[in-house]
Amino acid sequence: MSAQKNMGFQDIRDEVLNRIQTRIWPQGSLLPTELELAAEFGCARATVNRALRELADEGIITRRRKGGTRVVTTPVKQAKLPITVVRQTIEDMNAEYRYALVSRNMINCPPWLQAKLGLQEGAQVLHLNCMHHADNRPFQFEERWINTDTVPHVVDQDFLTVGPNEWLLSEIPFSNAEIAFSAVPATGQLQEFLSVPPGTPLFQLERTTWFQNKPVTFVRMTFHQGYQMRTKY
Amino acid sequence: MSAQKNMGFQDIRDEVLNRIQTRIWPQGSLLPTELELAAEFGCARATVNRALRELADEGIITRRRKGGTRVVTTPVKQAKLPITVVRQTIEDMNAEYRYALVSRNMINCPPWLQAKLGLQEGAQVLHLNCMHHADNRPFQFEERWINTDTVPHVVDQDFLTVGPNEWLLSEIPFSNAEIAFSAVPATGQLQEFLSVPPGTPLFQLERTTWFQNKPVTFVRMTFHQGYQMRTKY
DNA sequence: CCTATGCAAATACACAGACATAAATTACTT
DNA sequence: AAGTAATTTATGTCTGTGTATTTGCATAGG
């Protein structure tokens, strides 16, 4: 039963997870203390601590000082979906990637966008329309607005060969973002550039990006008909 | 510059992240060794190790034995989106949740589903159609298939008052899943139950769930018109 | 020029001890 | 009874040390 030897923190993590899954430690119940577990598994408390901390990070258990460690009652699973650039997505499908700039203009920031980019009325933003193709078939239409206050040298970029997504990723590599997924009907330029009948349901991803709490860009990426975004957890 | 005192691993993590963001340590460059950083920050190597490990977990840096620690060239950010039960989503909007079972049948597992649920031809599955309302307006239509081999006592459940989502979450709390998001047109019962015109673009989430490597259930959740799924990273 | 092998460097993990911190419990006061 | 202060306890973190493991690199052999 007790004092097994040569247990790494991963073994302990897995064993604890197993006891939770098999309801030896049911939902809401209190686990033994780190000290007790260390004694049972024959290891240092720090090792148990790391095992439990990982489970806590995954949302399987909650931990409070003095309160001890509990199995969560209603686990909130977190789907992790990797955000890559379109080119990567397409090349991972063994398809040929092609990028095309549709339009590039400085415009007055539209009212609905002012709040998102933290701009005042009358401020100028760089507005881009781009197409991403996979094996010469439309893959994604990208409409983007860039805050030229936060990224001044963006005005020197023509975006003819490299897309704004990749350029920004190399300029502002480590940013924060807020994402919204939805289903939209194909209208206007979407319908045209993705070559689908009007009203076709399309998967759309909107993203606002910040760098050090300053808004950088808002992008609306609309995918070809039938696109599925996949992930595991 | 060096030998600051009283630095916790979080301070070190933040300071390293800051140096990466400000390109003191540019993308692709090699960081000092743990020992050197420990000397600079005036702390133990283990503390530096933990700070760097967290950054590595976040995908900011990569670490290799003997190879050292490098800033990643193209960071792959992971958006974490919390998967909760519909009732939670609705109650978080301060709306009134209502659940209704539409149909409940044992059926032959359709061919397209056999692989997903790891079943042979002719196997029976429990098939459910459910509606979730928010403030008496259609919110989500749920179509679900449950593997009765993996969850035998599901056949005793009538699912009249509690939805299969919540029931399964309490039965099989800690499971793995694969998720796919897409945009689909409203047809047939979708159109009917979500009360939208035919062809309306709808946001759909498909999920296959396993418990200890055994397929449990496949679900197709279709949301009301205009629904957006949001997350940050 | 290519490959196998051995060494060294850097991270990965572990341990025991210590102190810090938050919170549940208890004791005490009003 | 209610509020407050002291105590206790489990987790959070740090340290210094030690061992294990991976792998880059150099060197030797074919």
**CA A212, B14, B80, A92 torsion-angle sign:** positive
**Rounded Cα distance, B95 and B92, in Å:** 7
Residue A12 has pLDDT above 70, yes or no: yes
Mean pLDDT of chain B: 94
Query: pLDDT tier at B77 (50, 70, 90 boundaries)?
Result: confident
What per-residue confidence (pLDDT) applies to B4?
61
Q: Are the beta carbons of B90 and B134 closer than 8 angstroms?
A: yes
Q: Closest Cα to residue A78, out of B85, B58, B179, B83?
A: B83
What's the CA dihedral at B138, B139, B143, B148 to 10 degrees?
-120
Per-residue tokens: A131: 């197409």
Nucleotides of C under 7 A from a protein CB: 8-18, 20-24
Mean pLDDT of chain A: 94
Q: Determine whether the interchain pair B173/A226 forms a contact, defined as Cβ–Cβ distance below 8 Å.
A: no
B92 touches chain A (CB under 8 A): no
Cα B190 to Cα A16, B80, B89, B98, B186, distances in angstroms: 42, 28, 20, 18, 5
Contacts of B205 in chain A (CB under 8 A): none
Per-residue tokens: A67: 């309160």
Once rounded to an integer, what is the mean pLDDT over residues A83-110? 95
Once rounded to an integer, what is the mean pLDDT over residues A11-28? 96
DSSP state string for A19-87:
HHHTTSS-TTPBPPPHHHHHHHHTS-HHHHHHHHHHHHHTTSEEEETTTEEEE-SS--EEEEEEE--HH
- CA B183 to C1' D1, whole Å: 61
What per-residue confidence (pLDDT) applies to B1?
47
**Rounded Cα distance, A192 and A187, in Å:** 8
Contacts of B77 in chain A (CB under 8 A): 82-83, 177
What per-residue confidence (pLDDT) applies to A80?
87
**Rounded Cα distance, B128 and B217, in Å:** 11
Rounded to the nearest angstrom, the minimum Cα separation between B107 and chain A is: 27
Phi-psi group of B122: left, alpha or beta (phi > 0 → left; psi -120 to 50 → alpha; rest → beta): left
Model confidence over B19-29: pLDDT tens digits?
999 999 999 99
Query: pLDDT tier at A3 (50, 70, 90 boundaries)?
Result: low
Report CA Rg, chain A. Answer: 25
- The SS3 call for residue A101 is strand
What per-residue confidence (pLDDT) applies to A188?
93
How many CB atoms are closer than 10 A to CB A101? 17
Q: Which residues touch strand C (CB under 7 A)?
A: A 7-11, 42-47, 50, 64-67; B 31, 33-35, 45-46, 49, 52-53, 56, 63-69
**Rounded Cα distance, B207 and B217, in Å:** 8
**Rounded Cα distance, A143 and A71, in Å:** 45
Q: Determine whether the interchain pair A177/B77 forms a contact, defined as Cβ–Cβ distance below 8 Å.
A: yes
Contacts of B220 in chain A (CB under 8 A): none
Nucleotide nearest to A36 (CA to C1'): D10
Q: What is the pTM of this model?
A: 0.90
B5 vs A231, more confident: A231
Report CA Rg, chain B. Answer: 25
Q: Where does residue B213 rank: exposed (0-12), middle (13-18), buried (19+ CB within 10 A)?
A: exposed
Once rounded to an integer, what is the mean pLDDT over residues B123-128? 96
Cα A90 to Cα A30, A48, A79, A96, distances in angstroms: 47, 42, 22, 7
Model confidence over A145-195: pLDDT tens digits?
999 999 999 999 999 999 999 999 988 988 899 999 999 999 999 999 999
Query: pLDDT tier at B7 (50, 70, 90 boundaries)?
Result: confident
Angle at A108 between CA A106 and CA A109, to 5 degrees: 105
Contacts of A180 in chain B (CB under 8 A): 228-230
Q: Which residues contact B47 (CB under 8 A, 6 or more apart)?
A: B7, B8, B9, B12, B38, B41
A46 touches chain B (CB under 8 A): no
Range 95-154 of A in CB contact (< 8 A) with B: none
Residue B2 has pLDDT above 70, yes or no: no
Cα A38 to Cα A16, A26, A65, distances in angstroms: 12, 20, 17
Query: pLDDT tier at A4 (50, 70, 90 boundaries)?
Result: low
Once rounded to an integer, what is the mean pLDDT over residues B119-146? 96
B231 touches chain A (CB under 8 A): yes
Alpha helices in chain B (DSSP H): 9-21, 34-41, 45-57, 86-92, 111-117, 164-171, 188-193
B190 vs B75, more confident: B190
A67 touches chain B (CB under 8 A): no
